[in-house]
Structures are given as structure tokens and as C-alpha cells.
Amino acid sequence: MTDIITTDDILGKEAVDPTGQVLGTVVKLHVNKLTKEIVGLTIDLGFMKPDLFVGTEFIKQFGVDAILLSRVPTDKLKGLDVLTFEGQEIGTVNKVILFRTNIKEIIVTSKEGFFTKEHIHIAANQIDKIGGSIILKKGYKLKKY
């Protein structure tokens, strides 16, 4: 078995995040013209959604049927609803703060009032699940800043 793959092995494949959710289809390879190394991929997220660039540092594996990513791209988290474990809606993700390549915290804009929106900082260790929305761990206590 060889360690070399071609663009045919990458382009047109689905990109899958660590939660198992298909992000979209790989449509471009980005190559550094000086070093001749692949630096990332562009993923088509679907109709009326902007394309997403993913650097090679976030690619876990080039699989036979899909490209597996090592983490959920932070751009994908912006705008997601944030809910308590009990299902109470807190707000939407406004910003994702990283430490190296891991999520350190998310900043959520509350849903309350047009002029009274607050920013809520939620540490990564308080997140239970990330999918179509972000679910916080049971017992999370809301801290407003």
C-alpha cells in the first residue's frame, strides 16, 4: 500500500467533523507554491452558504470515502443556538476563543431584548454536546459579564 494519494482521492469527498456530521464536499486543494505542500482544503457547505477553508492541521485522515477532520471548525459554530441541558435557550454563539487548536471558551450573545443583549462567556469544559446546537452540561450556572 502506498502513502501517496491524488486529487481524485480528495476532491468530491465529503468532509466529516469529529461528531460525525458531514460538513460538505471538498472542492479545492490549496498548495503553497514555494514549498509545494498542501496547506488546506475548501469545503462547499451547500447552497447559499459560504465555502469553508480548513487547514491541514485540522485534517485527521484522508479516508476511502471521506476526509475526517480532527475538530469542528470554529466558523461552523458561530450562529449556533446554545441551550442548557434542560433545553432553555441562552443565546447564539458570537465568537469562539481557541487555545492552540482547542476551544477554550465560547462567547454567546443572549436572546433577551434588542438593546439589552448581553455577552455570556462559557468555558469549553461546560459544553456537553456540539451538533445542530450547543448543549451545556447538566448543572451549568449562567454567569453574565
Residue 26, exposed/middle/buried by CB under 10 A (0-12, 13-18, 19+)?
A: buried
Look up residue 47 and give its amino acid.
F
pLDDT over 90 at 28, yes or no: yes
State residue 45's pLDDT score.
84
Sheet of strand 14-16: strand arrangement? 52-55, 38-44, 22-31, 14-16, 66-69, 59-62
pLDDT given for residue 51 in this prediction: 83
CATH 2.30.30.240, applies to 7-71: yes
The pLDDT assigned to 113 comes to: 58
**CATH for 75-136?**
2.30.30.240
13 secondary structure, DSSP code: P
Residues 96-122: what's their mean pLDDT?
79
- At residue 144, the pLDDT reads 53
29-44 pLDDT per residue, tens: 999 999 999 999 999 9
The answer to whether the CB of 50 falls within 8 A of the CB of 64 is no
- The DSSP bridge pattern shows strands 102-110 and 119-123 to be antiparallel
User: Where in the sequence of the chain do the CATH 2.30.30.240 domains occur?
Assistant: 7-71, 75-136
